[in-house]
């Protein structure tokens, strides 16, 4: 009898449990507004921001960066890791401005004032 109550209680709990919503907005990175672009041919939304976050740095020759493009609701439209090395790493002054200018050159981005 105890097993039946335990099973019924478990099933009742599972049936009444609410699902969790995964928050896809990004608030932990340095972001900058860009002119609207499509970052992939299959995009349904235009990206209006680029964000950059450091994932790791060996403090000698390279740094791994997380880069993402976001739409106007801060949803990620495209993301990738970028390895900063060689002259790019040697010239890096530690400022987000350097990184944004680097990606602007690589991806033909135009920055807009908020």
Q: Delimit the domains of the chain by residue range.
A: 22-107
Contact 81, 66 (CB under 8 A): yes
Verdict on whether the full-model pTM lies above 0.85: no
**C-alpha to C-alpha distance for 29 and 36, rounded to whole angstroms:** 19
- Each residue of 34-93: pLDDT tens digit? 877 777 666 667 889 888 988 888 888 999 999 998 888 888 888 999 999 999 999 998
């Amino acid at each position: 009898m105890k097993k039946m109550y335990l099973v019924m209680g478990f099933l009742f709990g599972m049936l009444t449990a609410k699902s969790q919503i995964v928050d896809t907005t990004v608030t932990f990175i340095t972001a900058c507004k860009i002119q609207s672009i499509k970052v992939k041919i299959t995009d349904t939304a235009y990206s209006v921001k680029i964000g950059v976050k450091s994932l790791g740095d060996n403090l000698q020759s390279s740094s791994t960066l997380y880069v993402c493009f976001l739409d106007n609701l801060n949803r990620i439209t495209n993301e990738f890791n970028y390895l900063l090395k060689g002259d790019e790493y040697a010239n890096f002054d530690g400022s987000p401005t350097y990184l944004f200018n680097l990606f602007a050159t690589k991806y033909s981005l135009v920055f807009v004032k908020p």
